[in-house]
Amino acid sequence: MMPEATTTLSPCSAKPGTGALTDAFCRRISYLRVSVTDRCDFRCTYCMAERVEFLPRKDLLTLEELDRLCSAFVGLGVTKLRITGGEPLVRKGILGFFRAMSRHLASGALRELTLTTNGSQLARHAEELAACGVRRVNVSLDTLDPGRFARLTRRGRLETVLDGIAAARAAGLRVKINAVALRGHTEDELFPLVDWCAAEGHDLTFIEVMPLGETSIEERLDQYLPLSDLRARLAGRFTLQPLAGTTGGPARYLQLAETGQRIGFITPLSHNFCESCNRVRLGCTGTLHTCLGQEGATDLRAPLRGCPQQAELEEAIRAAIARKPRGHDFDYSRAAPGGAVRRAMNRTGG
């Protein structure tokens, strides 16, 4: 079994409102994930419908608004910023935003500026991302088979993504491959992905498919492949050594004794990681989601657009963090996925 979080959350006696960002359960919030667009050049079957309706452009935060909001979070103690989407690198002018955020790295306020990408635009942007202080990049890649890749992403080309990954490495970026575990698919991909990542020196993490967005319940149950299944398959070929330590997120790590490789497992559905959750997500319209698995959210666009005062914006952020729920209710153990959330991953940011 993977190590489970054991702490039970209890309400915090400290008063919110001053100092570092802390929620009502004393969890310190230091990690912000920002979706900079809901648009994407792929239509991955587990993420988006083929004919997806994107939001009107006026609803998206401008890059200047994103700068102001992210900078406010950094001012309140956020030290890690992950840019995601949709596909972040399809947003026009996004490299200017990375350049702007790099000032917080230079000042020492931000420890890490990073992104999650499908890799389609990485070949042309990798060097500039490195120049902006990005050191690591997560690239989503579920298969190394070109035909399967095209079917799964509905419009992606594997070769383009592999070129992007090579460019990232050439620019000095560390690459972590994220693969969503899908029944009837990842069983075949497991060893090719593990071997390829070992040969290329990439980290690798598997993610359980989550019940987000409009995908039908039947489809979700068909797609769901528990990571315990992948782990058992790995154990058939490798000696697995659990690694201690947590990033405050849902990932747990194993080392393959034979290769020294570290494999991550993100299991929001089978393991409770909420006790150590240090993150919140800002959607592309300025909605703050303090829990990926709950519908509750706070609109920060209105205070952002309505008031030029930084203090009021900070107050709105603190109030939203104070309402961060204790945890999510995802559950596949019943006949239908419990705790499903209608909002799609591309708007909230994965």
178 binding partner (options ligand SF4, ligand SAM, none; Cβ < 5 to 8 Å by kind): ligand SAM
d(CA 339, CA 331): 6
Contact with ligand SAM (CB under 6 A) among 209, 251, 256, 313: 209
Which residue lies nearer to ligand SAM by CB, 74 or 266?
A: 266
Confirm if 337 and 270 have CB atoms less than 8 A apart.
no
Confirm if 282 and 301 have CB atoms less than 8 A apart.
no
Contact with ligand SAM (CB under 6 A) among 71, 118, 285, 287: 118
d(CA 207, CA 265): 6
Which of 313, 312, 276, 281 is closest to 296 using CA atoms?
281
Contact with ligand SAM (CB under 6 A) among 37, 45, 71, 117: 117
Please name the residues in contact with 339: beta carbons below 8 A apart, sequence gap of 6 or more.
Answer: 211, 293, 328, 329, 330, 331
At closest approach, how far in Å is the CB of 143 from ligand SAM?
12
210 binding partner (options ligand SF4, ligand SAM, none; Cβ < 5 to 8 Å by kind): ligand SAM
Binding residues (CB under 6 A) for ligand SF4: these are 40, 42-44, 47-48, 85-87, 118, 140, 346
* Beta pairing partners, 206: 179, 265
At closest approach, how far in Å is the CB of 208 from ligand SF4?
14
> What does the block give as tokens for 315?
């107050």
Rule CB under 6 A: say whether 264 interacts with ligand SAM. Answer: no
At closest approach, how far in Å is the CB of 140 from ligand SF4?
6
Which residue lies nearer to ligand SF4 by CB, 173 or 179?
A: 179
C-alpha pair distances (Å), 33 with each of 15, 85, 136, 169, 271: 25, 9, 15, 23, 21
43 binding partner (options ligand SAM, ligand SF4, none; Cβ < 5 to 8 Å by kind): ligand SF4
d(CA 35, CA 59): 13
d(CA 207, CA 179): 6
Site residues (CB under 6 A) for ligand SAM, limited to 14-53: 40, 46-47
**Given the rule CB under 6 A, which of 7-15, 57-65, 112-120, 313-321 is the region that contacts ligand SAM?**
112-120
175 binding partner (options ligand SAM, ligand SF4, none; Cβ < 5 to 8 Å by kind): none
Rule CB under 6 A: say whether 212 interacts with ligand SAM. Answer: yes
Which of 268, 287, 227, 207 is closest to 47 using CA atoms?
207
Contacting positions for ligand SAM (CB under 6 A): 40, 46-47, 84-85, 87, 116-118, 140, 178, 180, 207, 209-210, 212, 345-346, 350
